[in-house]
Amino acid sequence: MIRHCVFLRFKAAMQDAEKQAIYEAIAALKEVVPGMVDVTFGPNVSPEGLNGGYLDGFIVTFEDAVVRDYYLKHPDHLAVGERIVKATDGGLSGILVFDMEG
């Protein structure tokens, strides 16, 4: 299993409905990426204050690295990724990606 963790600093003006639409677009990729097991998303709820400004995020679980790599190159993922970059504060600098095995 690969857990693809993505943490986001959305622009301050970003509405909850826009965030939800992005998350739903990510979840819809399960229909076109065989081996994409699960998608969870939402705001950071940690009380520690160590989020570095990343207040939202999502985790995609893949069967293995092969599926993850397929997802990364899939045209639908690229389109959603472009949408995310436009929605984050600083573009790519508003996104933190961390993949884990397990």
pLDDT tens digits, 45-90: 999 999 999 999 999 999 999 999 999 999 999 999 999 999 999 9
Specify the DSSP element, H or E, that contains 58: strand 56-62
Specify the DSSP element, H or E, that contains 3: strand 2-8
- 1 near 67, Cβ under 8 Å? no
Whether the predicted model's global pTM rises above the 0.95 cut: no
Mean pLDDT of 82-101: 97
Could you state, in order of their start, the residue ranges of all structural domains in the chain?
7-101
Fold for 7-101, please state it.
Answer: Alpha-Beta Plaits (3.30.70)
Give me the pLDDT at residue 76, please: 97
